Chains A and B, each alone.
Chain A
């Protein structure tokens, strides 16, 4: 707090001037440093979790590649240990792991014997499409819903909030099953067999979007009700603005702010929620890769997907945070 930069920021705030460029850059740099720290931590936690695991990694590799589950002799294990570097000190393995990640090398899959980065690269497309379109659809569901039901009296409000509580609590997999049975099997509007075409993406997207729409709706509604009691709402009304106009133009904008933060957070859970949804719809993507990697103890592949998820989460939240600073002048110059 005593650094000259922060003094500049405080002084300019006090005099009502625009903070200097350096003062505005500083919080951005702090965020960036924090993001890098969190990523490093995530990688380290994953590395530690995988290194202290019960069971010998060399045995797991031999058993995966041969499709057996038997105990191995030291003579069999030594070459594997050497090839994967398991015989080296922990610190050295850790350094090699970090170094590899910096070069985009996530290691080699035990089972598929191919680079993890390549496998993820091939499979991430459909998963990413699914997650992003679900986020968009959740907003399309949540905004009109809350605009219609929030702040319009108690009865409508509790109806809207009950609907949000129920959708927010629905497990992805069950929503998916329900939609699949009703719209694909019974009505036949959508294909039952999984794929990545548009028609194959509709139901999974709705599945992933519904619970998120419930969460977003809850957050928007809470903020909406709070904003309705702000003085500027009354003053806009006394200026002769219509009730609907105030709601749509003034209240809604304020009410959306927490929901934007929530969306940044939701990206992480959308990607992992996509795993369940992809399984329900037998849709190709990271989900099926992750599930088989987990059941086969294919650690490099599992940790690669986990780290990628953490990376996307951190980057997206950093971007959301910076966008805030652009949009909301009150935040400029604060750390």
Chain B
């Protein structure tokens, strides 16, 4: 009883400081270590798949079609005997590149739109802010689908569509952040000291508005991979012979009743990437917020 009583109204525990071991390396939580390992694994897979794969992505083993996970085929095989584990490893590059590319497209658009809407002259900042509000009722998936319809399904259009679909949300965040920094005491002080607008933007606004972006980008990469694979899964992105993860899911749909592994494992790859990036992003976010306080 006493334990729960003291909880009520008790002031919050003192600010978390980053614990450091004796040699000065930050002691990271276990979840961050695990996320880092996952990202490292997929980074290696993306850079040189042959280091991690056991077979080639397109090599068929016709004696072992639709065979469940075994020693010979770690995660089983598909309907023409291709090794699923190796296909996932070989598909990493495309899946991650689409995610990274979409994030890059979104970030570029969001930086331009967000900063202009926050700091630009009134005649352009006002309408731009309205435009960002207008885009609010468009869910990311629908906006991306609209652009896939316009551009036709392909890896490039997938990247652009997901990028455009997520731009408005990031732009709103950047705008809010830039406005917050713009109204801060140190910018006022710099103005009072007579610094030019350029200098203030370069030295004060940009770096302080960018800091939260690191977390945002990390979170965003995972989400972009999820969206892009989702579109491929709908058959509107990368088409099946490719080992892209969404395409693997789509190809496995037909044999879902007999070969569960074809749908489960590519999904686990997507979820692992998304969760790892989310964990790292959250951690960076908490850290930078804690440091700012």
Contacts and interface: CB of A to CB of B under 8 A. Distances in A.
Nearest to A279: B234
Given A165-B278, A169-B222, A276-B141, A38 B230 contact: no
A75 interface: no
Contacts, number: 155
Contacts of A299: 149
A184 to B, nearest CB: 9
A165 B256 contact: no
Contact of B249 (A152, A177, A228, A314): A177
Contacts of B7: 151-153, 228, 243
A54 B134 CA distance: 24
A180 B8 contact: no
Interface in B115-147: 130-131, 133-143, 145-147
A42 interface: yes
A303 to B, nearest CB: 7
B74 to A, nearest CB: 19
A318 B237 CA distance: 35
Nearest to A180: B256
Nearest to B267: A174
Contacts of B11: 229
A257 B10 CA distance: 23
Interface in B269-289: 270-271, 274-275, 278-279, 282
Given A172-B230, A181-B263, A295-B153, A243 B137 contact: no
Interface size class of A (residues with CB under 8 A): 35 or more
Interface string B7-24: 111111000000000000
Secondary structure dominating the interface of B: helix
Contacts of A169: 222, 271, 274-275, 278
Interface residues of B, number: 54
Contact of A295 (B5, B140, B235, B279): B235
A149 B8 CA distance: 15
A322 to B, nearest CB: 17
Contacts of B270: 171, 174
B137 A173 contact: no
Given A177-B256, A271-B139, A294 B9 contact: no
A305 B141 CA distance: 12
Contacts of B274: 169, 171
Contacts of B130: 37, 41
Given A177-B263, A185-B260, A229-B11, A46 B146 contact: yes
Interface of B: 3-5, 7-12, 31, 130-131, 133-143, 145-153, 222, 226, 229-230, 233-236, 249, 256-257, 260, 263-264, 267, 270-271, 274-275, 278-279, 282
Given A42-B137, A298-B149, 4 more contacts: A53-B150, A246-B8, A290-B145, A306-B145
